[in-house]
């Protein structure tokens, strides 16, 4: 969590930093701050969003061509002006911004307090800058060395930028466990949590690695490891384009991203499926073909929406690949003592590639000898670096905090993985694979058709917008869709929503049903159609309002339901890719009608780098 930006060069640092912080606000938005080198360090910070900081600093002098900024998602210390970053040393000489968590901050703080340090905030970050100050004062070290030595005492995760009054033309940056990118310009450098604040200035970037520390001047960059070995920087060219980071005429990023799905699903399949030959090409997994043929069990680990994608994969891998699959919340898995053998394959799913619990679960499974595959969206993020192999989802940057296109891209990749496994293990007939891949190729067009229901969905949203609760029901792959529909609604509209397997309704949720309880049912024509009809009857008998997602041309459910939303007819395997789309739109419109901040829902963040 938290977004950081640094700049040193010839431009106005404030402008670069503020623009960058807006791009990183998806990472946290409860307070923001900037430090500028202008004679000495000038600090501007405020609880609230980046725009609140801009208003606060509107009439203040913001000159300077060296600076750093931060947008926060609070961990230690409530969101307040005082706890906002940057934090400074006791003598005000040094300033720091930090993304991550310093786990041993309490011990360090106590030791520093005994030496007379007084703290102004409740944060772990402030402890680190006092530690650097203490090391400089007691050992007389230069700034770079003092930061390097201090980092040896830190347990936890960090991406930091440090400035000093005594070195006005220097930025020090370091990372361990939290992402950091350095943009390389002409006599200027940019630092950021991801490439989005950098892309409009330069395409040349260096992804700093764990335990690396950078000394940055306008015309000089030196990278060392924290154990003091010189590192050769690897400059990469960004594929990211500026248009990808803008709303492109949509009111919100979330809506833009919902509408991007026909394209993102297509991108995800590009060069990977060959319907005529019944072949799937997943370059990242090729060298694991033997392993996949002999695998006894697949364990899927993920959090949030990615976990829902994992549930879809469980159905598909078991159905087609005939391998037992277990789907685990990474946060639970890492704290159990799970039985894992060298024959197991673990698939870690993560949009950001940075989720702390997922990373820790991967490390644990790796230690126990499992082979780890990653399914990630953000290229160059941490998870792809720690997995043995993987498949990128190529959905492009997802900025709305509630995941939409990343989910359908994950499901697409996992569908390909299920078919790939089936092909390698010989558990699917070639003719069936040809048939499935041919249909899969049509899915982007079918998603396009799902989007055509938008105006009709607006009308339904109007009816539901004042509800206090909502139940989502589905069977088979409709169950993870129901979970995802409920999650979208609660995340962005703050309506309490639950997803349930339709048949489980009678074991509890049915007690909640009355005329005030809308029930969204995934009732498409598939193997459980008849059974879902019975569930709808049970809801109607108790006066619940039924909103049904149905296959186009449906008659039976349409007669019973209060509202229906049609989606095109498709193979059951592809139901999640289609049925999720109207639920995303429904949540979106309800949230807009309730006046909620759709792209930045309260208390949430897109990338959860704390456990």
Which positions are catalytic? 2, 606
| Nearest position to ligand G6P, beta carbon | 304
My answer on whether omega of the bond before 493 falls inside 30° of 0, hence cis, is no
99 interacts with ligand G6P by CB under 6 A: no
Considering the complex, what minimum distance in angstroms separates the CB of residue 127 from ligand G6P? 27
Q: CA torsion 565→571→577→579, rounded to 10°?
A: 20
Residues 6+ apart with CB under 8 A from 590: 461, 464, 465, 489, 493, 495
Exposure string of 204-231, with b = 16+ CB inside 10 Å and e = fewer, is ebbbbbbebbbbbebeebebbebeeeeb
Q: Which of residues 410-469 bind ligand G6P (CB under 6 A)?
A: none
In angstroms, rounded to a whole number, what is the distance separating the alpha carbons of residues 232 and 13?
27
Tell me whether strands 3-8 and 66-72 are parallel, antiparallel or unpaired: antiparallel
493 interacts with ligand G6P by CB under 6 A: no
Q: Which of residues 329-358 bind ligand G6P (CB under 6 A)?
A: 350-352, 355, 358
Among 303, 360, 418, 591, binds ligand G6P (CB under 6 A): 303
Considering the complex, what minimum distance in angstroms separates the CB of residue 375 from ligand G6P? 9
Written as one string, the DSSP assignment of 51-81 is HHHHHHTTTS----SEEEEEEE--SSS-SST
3 state SS of 84: coil
- Among the listed ranges 178-186, 289-297, 301-309, 332-340, the one in contact with ligand G6P (CB under 6 A) is 301-309
- Judged by beta carbon, residue 309 or residue 557, the one nearer ligand G6P is 309
Are the C-beta atoms of residues 121 and 89 closer than 8 Å to each other? Answer: no
DSSP annotation of 209 reads: P
Q: Among candidates 308, 407, 325, which has minimal Cα distance to 373?
A: 325
- Among the listed ranges 181-189, 265-273, 559-567, 601-609, the one in contact with ligand G6P (CB under 6 A) is 601-609
- Judged by beta carbon, residue 350 or residue 535, the one nearer ligand G6P is 350
Q: Among candidates 47, 568, 609, 119, which has minimal Cα distance to 356?
A: 609
- Judged by beta carbon, residue 303 or residue 486, the one nearer ligand G6P is 303
Q: Give the CA count within 13 Å in the CB-facing half-sphere of 44.
A: 24
Backbone angles phi and psi of 198, in degrees to 5: -100, -30
606 interacts with ligand G6P by CB under 6 A: yes
Considering the complex, what minimum distance in angstroms separates the CB of residue 406 from ligand G6P? 7
Sign of the alpha-carbon torsion through 571, 394, 21, 155: positive
- Among the listed ranges 7-15, 189-197, 299-307, 499-507, the one in contact with ligand G6P (CB under 6 A) is 299-307
- Among the listed ranges 267-275, 302-310, 496-504, 527-535, the one in contact with ligand G6P (CB under 6 A) is 302-310
- Judged by beta carbon, residue 398 or residue 566, the one nearer ligand G6P is 398
3 state SS of 183: strand
In angstroms, rounded to a whole number, what is the distance separating the alpha carbons of residues 5 and 20?
6
The number of residues that bind ligand G6P (CB under 6 A) is: 15
Contact pattern for ligand G6P over residues 548 through 577, marking x by CB under 6 A? ------------------------------
Starting from the edge strand earliest in sequence, which strands make up the sheet with 66-72, in order? 40-47, 31-38, 66-72, 3-8, 189-192, 181-184, 204-207, 236-237
Considering the complex, what minimum distance in angstroms separates the CB of residue 4 from ligand G6P? 18
Among 12, 380, 604, 611, binds ligand G6P (CB under 6 A): 604
Sign of the alpha-carbon torsion through 240, 242, 244, 246: positive
Considering the complex, what minimum distance in angstroms separates the CB of residue 305 from ligand G6P? 3
Are the C-beta atoms of residues 441 and 269 closer than 8 Å to each other? Answer: yes
- Judged by beta carbon, residue 385 or residue 435, the one nearer ligand G6P is 385
Considering the complex, what minimum distance in angstroms separates the CB of residue 433 from ligand G6P? 29
Considering the complex, what minimum distance in angstroms separates the CB of residue 591 from ligand G6P? 14
Among 3, 20, 28, 304, binds ligand G6P (CB under 6 A): 304
305 interacts with ligand G6P by CB under 6 A: yes
- Among the listed ranges 110-118, 303-311, 363-371, 559-567, the one in contact with ligand G6P (CB under 6 A) is 303-311
Considering the complex, what minimum distance in angstroms separates the CB of residue 187 from ligand G6P? 35
608 interacts with ligand G6P by CB under 6 A: yes
Contact pattern for ligand G6P over residues 356 through 375, marking x by CB under 6 A? --x-----------------
Considering the complex, what minimum distance in angstroms separates the CB of residue 136 from ligand G6P? 37
What are the residue ranges of helices labelled H in 194-250? none
Among 83, 136, 178, 306, binds ligand G6P (CB under 6 A): 306
Residues that bind ligand G6P (CB under 6 A): 303-306, 350-352, 355, 358, 401, 403, 604, 606-608
């Amino acid at each position: 969590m938290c977004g950081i930006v640094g700049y040193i060069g010839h431009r106005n640092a404030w402008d670069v930093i503020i623009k960058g912080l807006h791009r990183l606000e998806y990472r946290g938005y409860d307070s923001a701050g900037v430090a500028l080198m202008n004679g000495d360090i000038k600090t501007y910070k405020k609880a609230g969003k980046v725009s609140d900081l801009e208003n606060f600093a509107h009439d203040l002098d913001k000159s300077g061509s060296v600076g750093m900024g931060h947008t926060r998602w609070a961990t230690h210390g409530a969101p307040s002006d005082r706890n906002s970053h940057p934090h400074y040393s006791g003598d005000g000489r040094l300033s720091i911004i930090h993304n991550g968590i310093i786990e041993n901050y309490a011990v360090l703080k106590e030791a520093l307090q005994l030496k007379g340090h007084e703290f102004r905030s409740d944060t772990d970050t402030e402890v680190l800058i006092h530690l650097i100050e203490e090391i400089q004062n007691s050992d007389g070290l230069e700034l770079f060395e003092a930061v390097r030595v201090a980092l040896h005492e830190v347990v936890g995760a960090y991406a930091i930028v440090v400035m000093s009054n005594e070195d006005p033309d220097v930025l020090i940056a370091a990372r361990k466990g939290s992402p950091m990118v350095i943009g390389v310009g002409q006599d200027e450098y940019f630092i950021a949590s991801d490439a989005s604040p950098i892309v409009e200035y330069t395409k040349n970037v260096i992804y700093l690695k764990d335990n690396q520390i950078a000394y940055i001047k306008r015309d000089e960059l030196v990278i060392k490891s924290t154990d003091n070995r010189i590192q050769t920087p690897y400059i990469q060219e960004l594929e990211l384009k500026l248009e990808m980071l803008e709303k492109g005429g949509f009111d919100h990023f979330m809506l833009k991203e919902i509408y991007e799905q026909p394209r993102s699903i297509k991108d995800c399949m590009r060069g990977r499926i060959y319907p005529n030959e019944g072949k799937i090409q997943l370059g990242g997994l090729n060298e694991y073909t033997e392993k996949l043929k002999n695998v006894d069990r697949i364990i899927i680990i993920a959090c949030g929406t990615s976990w829902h994608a994992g549930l879809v994969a469980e159905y598909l891998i078991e159905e087609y690949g005939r391998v037992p699959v277990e789907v685990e919340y990474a946060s639970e898995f890492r704290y159990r003592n799970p039985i894992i053998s060298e024959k197991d394959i673990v698939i870690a799913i993560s949009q950001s590639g940075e989720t702390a619990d997922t990373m820790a679960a991967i490390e644990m499974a790796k230690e126990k000898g499992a082979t780890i595959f990653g399914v990630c969206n953000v290229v160059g993020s941490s998870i792809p670096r720690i997995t043995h192999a993987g498949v990128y989802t190529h959905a492009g940057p997802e900025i709305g905090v509630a995941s939409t296109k990343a989910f359908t891209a994950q499901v697409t990749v996992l569908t390909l993985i299920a078919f790939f496994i089936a092909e390698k293990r010989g558990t699917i007939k070639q003719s069936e694979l040809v048939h499935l891949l041919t249909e899969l190729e049509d899915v982007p067009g079918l998603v396009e058709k799902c989007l055509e229901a938008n105006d009709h969905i607006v009308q339904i949203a109007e009816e539901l917008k004042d509800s206090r609760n909502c139940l989502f029901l589905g069977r088979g792959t409709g169950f993870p869709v129901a979970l995802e529909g409920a999650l979208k609604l609660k995340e962005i509209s703050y309506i309490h929503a639950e997803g349930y397997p339709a048949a489980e309704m009678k074991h509890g949720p049915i007690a909640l049903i009355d005329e005030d309880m809308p029930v969204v049912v995934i009732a498409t024509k598939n193997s459980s159609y008849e059974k879902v009809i019975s569930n709808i009857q049970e809801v109607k008998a108790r006066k619940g309002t039924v909103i049904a997602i149905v296959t186009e041309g449906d008659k039976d459910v349409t007669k019973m339901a209060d509202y229906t939303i049609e989606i095109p007819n498709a193979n059951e395997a592809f139901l999640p890719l289609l049925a999720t789309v109207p639920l995303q739109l429904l949540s979106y419109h309800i949230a807009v009608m309730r006046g909620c901040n759709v792209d930045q829902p309260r208390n949430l963040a897109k990338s959860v780098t704390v456990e």
